[in-house]
Chain A
Amino acid sequence: MSALEREPVGEGIRLRGVSKTYGTVPALRGVDLDIAASRFTVLLGPSGSGKTTLLRGIAGIERFDTGSIHFGAQLISEGSQNVPSERRGLSMVFQDYALWPHMTVRQNVAYAIRRRRLGSADAATQVSGALERVGLEAKAGAFPHELSGGQQQRVALARAIVGDPRLVLFDEPLSNLDADLRERLRVEIATLTRASGATALYITHDQAEAFALADQIGILNQGRIEQLGTPEEIYRAPATPFVAQFTGLAGSFAGIYVGDRDGYSQVRVGDHQFLCTNSTALAAHVKVDLLVRPTASRLLPIPDRWSHPESVSSGDIEATIIDVAYRGRGYDHVVDCAYGRLVSIFDARAWPRGTRCLLRIDPDGCLAFPRLMHQSGSNER
Chain B
Amino acid sequence: MSTTAARAQTAVGDATDRRDILPSVGEALATPSDFTSQAVRRERAATRGWQRLRRVNPLTFFWLLIVLILVLPILLFLTVAISPSLLDQGSQAFTLSSFADALTGQLFVGFLDSLVIGISTAVLSAVIGFALSWVVLRTNAPGRRIWTGVVFALLLTPSYLIALGWERLLEPNGVLEVIGWDTTGLRGVFYGPVGIVIVLTVKGIPFAYLAISNAMRGLGHEYEDAIRVHGGGKVTAMRTVVTLLAPAMWSALAIVFAESISDFGVASTLANDSHFPVATYTLYNAIEAFPVNFPVASAVSWLLLVLVVLALFAQNRALRGRSFRVLGGRSRPAIRHQLGVPGKVITTTLLTLLLLFALGVPTFGAVAASLIDGLGSLAGTHQLDFANYQRVIGSPQLSQPLLYSAWLAAITATVTVVLAAVCARLLANSGTSIGGRILDLVLLAAVALPGIVFAAGYIFAYNLPFVNSIGIHIYGTTMLLLLAYIATALPSTSRVLVGTMSQIQESMAQASRIHGSGAIRSWLSIVLPITARPLLTAWLLTYTATLLELPVSQLLAPPGSEPISVGITTTLSKYDFGGGTALEVLAILSALAVVAIAYALFRFVAPAGWKNIGETR
The answer to whether A binds B is yes
The CA-CA distance from A63 to B507 in the complex, in Å, is 17
Chain A min CB distance to B478 (Å): 37
Residue contact A90 to B39, C-beta cutoff 8 Å: no
Residue contact A98 to B513, C-beta cutoff 8 Å: no
Residue contact A145 to B514, C-beta cutoff 8 Å: no
Residues of B in contact, count (CB < 8 Å): 37
Task: Write out the residue numbers on chain A whose beta carbons fall within 8 Å of the beta carbon of B612.
Answer: 101-102, 143, 145
Residue contact B511 to A81, C-beta cutoff 8 Å: no
Residues of A in contact, count (CB < 8 Å): 38
Task: Write out the residue numbers on chain A whose beta carbons fall within 8 Å of the beta carbon of B513.
Answer: 60-61, 84-86
Name the residue on A nearest B39 (C-beta): A83
Residue contact A92 to B609, C-beta cutoff 8 Å: no
Residue contact B505 to A98, C-beta cutoff 8 Å: yes
Residue contact A83 to B511, C-beta cutoff 8 Å: no
Is A227 on the interface with B (CB-CB < 8 A)?
no
Asked if A101 meets B516 with Cβ closer than 8 Å, knowing A75-B35, A84-B27, the reply is no
Residue contact A83 to B31, C-beta cutoff 8 Å: no
Task: Write out the residue numbers on chain A whose beta carbons fall within 8 Å of the beta carbon of B511.
Answer: 92, 94, 98, 100
Question: Which of B23, B29, B514, B525 is packed against the most chain A CB atoms within 10 Å?
Answer: B514
Partner of A60, one of B31, B514, B517, B607: B514
The CA-CA distance from A86 to B520 in the complex, in Å, is 11
Chain B min CB distance to A245 (Å): 30
The CA-CA distance from A86 to B39 in the complex, in Å, is 11
Question: Which of B23, B30, B39, B530 is packed against the most chain A CB atoms within 10 Å?
Answer: B39
Is A66 on the interface with B (CB-CB < 8 A)?
no
The CA-CA distance from A145 to B616 in the complex, in Å, is 12
Is A74 on the interface with B (CB-CB < 8 A)?
yes
Is A104 on the interface with B (CB-CB < 8 A)?
yes
Residue contact A111 to B515, C-beta cutoff 8 Å: yes
Name the residue on B nearest A89 (C-beta): B516
Bitwise, B188-219 to A at CB < 8 A (1) or not (0) is 00000000000000000000000000000000
Q: In chain B, residues 29-59, which have Cβ atoms closer than 8 Å to a Cβ of chain A?
A: 29-31, 33, 35, 37-40, 43
Is A285 on the interface with B (CB-CB < 8 A)?
no
The CA-CA distance from A95 to B505 in the complex, in Å, is 12
Is A80 on the interface with B (CB-CB < 8 A)?
yes
The CA-CA distance from A35 to B526 in the complex, in Å, is 32
Question: Which of A62, A95, A98, A159 is packed against the most chain B CB atoms within 10 Å?
Answer: A98
Asked if A102 meets B529 with Cβ closer than 8 Å, knowing A82-B28, A87-B39, the reply is yes
Question: Which of A59, A83, A84 is packed against the most chain B CB atoms within 10 Å?
Answer: A84
Is B523 on the interface with A (CB-CB < 8 A)?
no
Partner of B31, one of A81, A88, A101, A107: A81
Chain A min CB distance to B69 (Å): 30
Is A298 on the interface with B (CB-CB < 8 A)?
no
Partner of B613, one of A63, A81, A94, A101: A101
Is A199 on the interface with B (CB-CB < 8 A)?
no
The CA-CA distance from A92 to B511 in the complex, in Å, is 7
Is A103 on the interface with B (CB-CB < 8 A)?
yes
Is A115 on the interface with B (CB-CB < 8 A)?
yes
Residue contact B505 to A92, C-beta cutoff 8 Å: no
Task: Write out the residue numbers on chain A whose beta carbons fall within 8 Å of the beta carbon of B514.
Answer: 59-61, 85-86, 88, 90-92, 169
9 more A-B residue pairs beyond the given contacts A81-B33, A101-B612, with a C-beta to C-beta distance below 8 A:
A62-B23, A75-B40, A85-B514, A86-B513, A101-B530, A102-B530, A102-B613, A143-B609, A145-B612
Question: Could you tell me which B residues sit within 8 Å of A by CB distance?
Answer: 22-23, 26-31, 33, 35, 37-40, 43, 505, 507-508, 510-518, 525-526, 529-530, 532, 607, 609-610, 612-613
What are 28 inter-chain pairs, A to B, with CB distance below 8 A?
Answer: A60-B23, A61-B510, A61-B513, A74-B38, A75-B40, A81-B43, A83-B39, A83-B43, A84-B513, A85-B23, A85-B510, A85-B513, A86-B515, A91-B514, A92-B510, A94-B507, A94-B510, A96-B507, A98-B508, A100-B530, A101-B613, A102-B529, A102-B530, A102-B612, A112-B515, A115-B515, A145-B612, A159-B515
The 5 closest A-B pairs by CB, nearest first: A115-B516, A102-B609, A98-B507, A98-B511, A112-B515
Question: Could you tell me which A residues sit within 8 Å of B by CB distance?
Answer: 59-63, 73-75, 80-88, 90-92, 94-96, 98, 100-104, 107, 111-112, 114-115, 143, 145, 159, 169
